[in-house]
Amino acid sequence: MRFEKLNESNGKGSKMFLCGLILGVSLLIVSNLFLTKAKYKVVDSAKLVESNINYKIPDLNVIAMYKNDGAEDIPIDKIPTDNYYSIDDDKSYCIVKSNSEHLKGNMTIENNKININITEKGTKCYIYLIKSSLKTLQNLREEKDGVIAGAIHGTSCANGTNNIEHNKENCTLEENGIYEVEGDGGKSYVYRGTVNNNWVKFANMYWRIIRINEDGTLRIIYSGTTPSKDGRWTDQDKAEAISKEPFNINNNDNKYVGFMYGGKDGEASKSYEEATKNETNSNILTKLIEWYNSNLGNNPDYYNLIDGNTGFCNDREINTNEIGWWQGEATPKLRGYGTNTTSYAAFSRFLTPNNDWKTIEDGATPTLKCKNKNRDLFTTKESKQGNKALPVPIGLITADEAIYAGSFGGAKNWGYWLNINNHYWSISSSTFGENKAYVFLIYNDGSLGNAIIEENRYTGVNNLLAIRPVINLKANLNFTGNGLVNTPYEISE
C-alpha cells in the first residue's frame, strides 16, 4: 500500500493527503482543492490508531474500515486480497464537516481499490465491507417478491393515446422486485419496477437482467461498457445501446415486421406464408450478428457461456380476435402479407380494438409464451427447439418483457429500470397500416409504443432507433457480487 505526502510551497508546511489504504486500498478523491504548486512524494506506510485511520488531512479526517464475513463487523487495516467483497451501502457513509447528515452511495470498490467521491475538507468516512457469497440462479429465484398472474393494471396512470406526446402523468408501480410469471413450459422470474440489483458484468460490458428463463438460463440486455452513475443514463449520446439503426430499411410490406422474412429485400410478399418465411435477415438482425461476432463470438471465454437453446420470440401471429381500426374491412385470409392492413397478436395484448392503450381498466395481458415456435422462436441450429434460423444466439427484448419490467403503453414511466431515456427497438411485431410496417418500441420516457412522429407523420420500421442486444447466459453458473451497479454479478470460475 502506498501513501503520499503533499508538499505545498506556501510557507505553512506540509499537509498529509491520503491517497490510499494499507496494502492495496486506493482512495481516489475527486477534488480541485489543491493548486498546481502541489507536489507529491511517496510515503511507504502509515500507522493506524485504534483500528481507525485518524489523520488531520485536508480532505479525509477519519476513516474506519470493517469487514463482515457473515457473522459480525471486524475492524481491519487493509482490504482483503480476494475480490469477493463489496461495499455495504446500508452501513457505509461519510459525514461532511458542513453537513451533519450521513452521505451514502459515494463509495465504490473495484480491483481492490476503494473510490470515494468527496470534495469538501474535514470529511469523515466509515467503510463497511461485506463478503459476496457465490450465488446461483436458483438463489435468485428464491429471492422472489411475489407472483404476477393475469392482466397487469397500472396505478396512478391514465389511459394513453397512440402518439409521441403521451400523457403527462407519470405511471407508478405497485410491484418492485423479482416476480414469478408463468412462462413457456415452466416458471420465469422477471425483474420489475425500480430495482437496482440486476446489474451483470460480462465480457467487459455491463448488462441488466430481464428475467430468469423457464429453463434456468439468464436473459440479459446490453447496458454499455461503463455503468451510469446512478444506474440510468441521462445523456442520449451515451445511451446503453450499440448503435442506432432501422429495424428494416424498407417498411412498405407486412413482411418487414419480421426479424427475418421471406423473399428478397424490396420484393412484395404474395402470401402470409411467404411473408413470414425465415429466408432474409432483417437489417437489425444483420447489425446484431456483426456486433456479436466482433464482441462476443471471437472469444471462447465469452461464447462458451452463452446459451443457444433459449430463443427470442418475434411473434407474427395475426390478431383475429378483435376487429378494430387497424383491421379495417380486411378478412383474415387477406392479412399478414403485402400491403394488407393487419394487426398482430401483441397489438391485441396491449391495445383495445379502438386503438387505446390498456393500462388501468382493461389491463395489458403480456405473455412469455411463443405460440408458433417453429416459425417465430428464433434459435440457433444447435437448439432443440424453435426455428433454428439464427447463426449466433442474439436477439432483442420483447414488448411483453418490457411490460413485465414496468413499461406502460402510451403513458410515461421514467423510474423503472429498463428506461434509458432513448428510443429503442423491441422484437415484437405490431401492425401494418397506411402502407407502413410497425414494430413495438420503448420510448425515451419509458413507455411502450409502436410509432415515432416526425414532421407530423408516423414512421415505421425504417426509423433510426437504438439497438440493445439481448443474450442468454447458460444455467447453473455461479456469480459473485450483489447485482448493484458498483458491485454487479460476475460469473465465477
Q: Which residues of 268-298 are buried (b: 16+ CB within 10 A; e: fewer)?
A: ebeebebbbbbebbbbbbebbbebbeebbbe
Q: Does the pLDDT value for residue 390 go beyond 70?
A: yes
Summarize pLDDT for 90-119 with one digit per residue, the tens.
788 888 766 666 666 667 766 566 777 665
Whether residue 127 sits in one domain with residue 107: yes
Q: Does the pLDDT value for residue 227 go beyond 80?
A: no
Whether residue 151 sits in one domain with residue 85: no
Give the domain-ending residue among 99, 131, 163: 131
For position 371, what pLDDT does the model report?
93
For position 84, what pLDDT does the model report?
60
Whether residue 142 sits in one domain with residue 36: no
Least confident span in 164-168, 336-340, 433-437:
164-168
Whether residue 166 sits in one domain with residue 208: yes
Least confident span in 21-25, 122-126, 260-264, 302-306:
21-25
Q: Which helix (H) or strand (E) holds 405?
A: helix 399-405
Provide CB contacts within 8 A for 160, sequence distance 6+. Answer: 166, 167, 356, 357, 359, 408, 409, 410, 411, 447
Q: Does the pLDDT value for residue 294 go beyond 70?
A: yes
For position 15, what pLDDT does the model report?
33
222, 309, 376 from 226: Cα distances, Å: 11, 29, 33
Taking Cα atoms as reference points, which of 383, 321, 318, 308 lies closest to residue 345?
Answer: 318
CA 392/CA 274 separation, integer angstroms: 24
For position 13, what pLDDT does the model report?
37
Summarize pLDDT for 445-459 with one digit per residue, the tens.
888 887 766 544 556
In terms of residue numbers, what domain contains 25? Answer: 3-131
Least confident span in 62-76, 101-115, 141-155:
141-155
Q: Does the pLDDT value for residue 402 go beyond 90?
A: yes
Q: Average model confidence (pLDDT) for the chain?
A: 75
Whether residue 284 sits in one domain with residue 254: yes
pLDDT-derived band at 70 (thresholds 50, 70, 90) equals low
Least confident span in 138-142, 201-205, 242-246:
138-142
Whether residue 166 sits in one domain with residue 69: no
pLDDT-derived band at 247 (thresholds 50, 70, 90) equals very high
For position 44, what pLDDT does the model report?
26
Whether residue 154 sits in one domain with residue 77: no
Better-predicted residue by pLDDT, 388 or 94: 388
pLDDT-derived band at 484 (thresholds 50, 70, 90) equals confident
Indicate the pTM of the whole model.
0.72
Q: Does the pLDDT value for residue 218 go beyond 80?
A: yes
Whether residue 91 sits in one domain with residue 176: no
Give the domain-ending residue among 131, 161, 178: 131
Q: Does the pLDDT value for residue 7 go beyond 70?
A: no
For position 91, what pLDDT does the model report?
83
What is the tally of structural domains in the chain?
2
Place of cell 378478412: 331
- The proportion of the chain whose per-residue pLDDT surpasses 90, expressed as a percent, equals 35
For position 406, what pLDDT does the model report?
86
